[in-house]
Copies of this chain bind each other. A is one copy, B any other.
Amino acid sequence: MSRFKHIAVVGAGLIGGSIVLGAARRKLAPSLTCWSRSDTSRKFLRQNGIAQVYDTAAEAVRGADLVVIATPVDRMAETCREIGPALSPGALVTDVGSVKTSILKDASHLPPQVTFIGSHPMAGSEKAGATHAQENLFQDRLCFITPTGQESAQALEKIQAFWTELGSRLFTCSAQQHDAMVAAVSHVPHAAASALILAVASLPDFNSHVAGSGLKDTTRVAGGEENLWTGILLANSLPVTAGLAELEKHCRRLRLAIEQGNAQEISQFLKAAKIIRQSLD
């Protein structure tokens, strides 16, 4: 017997759409409903026929015992206010946002008779929309769960089991810990990739036709949707700006060593970087 009777996904784009596909494939609930702001995504999901697709978020969540909010980070407060009156008492609500501290504040707009526990599956892409959704998007990917300590053990266990069933590996920590860790491994690299592509394109001899895999890999994430990422960078501004300041400092240190022709310092810098990079594989 499945853990939930009715799962609703609010904001079925790339991530939300992949949850719908993954939940349907794994029969995680007898009833699946969803909503997307995008006509294209709604049309795609309707044609797919695996979930009931609604034209408003409030309709989609009615009667659900698990609601997954997958709207952009900067729409979270608005989404909570919109679905609040339609939520069933006792419903479990989670999200998929790339920041967690600010989202806890947004979730305070939910009615008191529901339980909110934040989630963050690290499975984004520079692509957007349900047409790019994949039923195995979360397979072997890390998913953060950020309980506050106010929720019941049973509610936490249900959320953890939901992501495990979608194939994720779990990392449970506080919202603050999440935000600091994810700034380092995702938000700062995203900001750096955007700064790098603008910097090299501003050089007088930049020629996009000679770009190889080095530049492409290094800046791939900069292809992400700008408003989604503006919301993320602003919602996690303290750790992100601290990371950018460190990046400026390290760039300057390497630049000065090159200007001074200091081969030993350059080599030590690159070696230290190589050792850390290799430890990620």
Q: B-contacting residues of A (Cβ < 8 Å)?
A: 122, 124, 141-142, 144, 171, 177, 180-186, 188-212, 214-227, 229-230, 233-234, 237, 239-255, 258-259, 261, 263, 266-274, 276-281
Contact = CB atoms under 8 A, between A and B. Distances in A.
B217 A205 contact: no
Given A142-B210, A207-B181, A212-B141, A192 B192 contact: yes
Given A142-B210, A197-B277, A226-B270, 9 more contacts: A180-B204, A184-B207, A192-B192, A192-B196, A201-B276, A203-B243, A224-B270, A237-B258, A241-B259
Contacts of A254: 191, 194-195, 244
A207 B200 CA distance: 29
Given A234-B258, A250-B199, A142 B274 contact: no
Contacts of A253: 195
A274 B223 contact: yes
23 contacts: A141-B212, A142-B212, A144-B210, A171-B209, A177-B205, A185-B207, A185-B215, A188-B199, A195-B247, A198-B276, A199-B243, A203-B243, A205-B239, A208-B280, A215-B280, A217-B217, A217-B218, A219-B277, A222-B277, A223-B274, A223-B278, A230-B267, A233-B258
Contacts of A183: 203, 205
A205 B181 contact: yes
A226 B271 contact: yes
A276 B217 contact: no
A229 B270 contact: yes
B220 A237 contact: no
Given A239-B203, A273-B222, A277-B220, A255 B266 contact: no
A195 B226 CA distance: 24
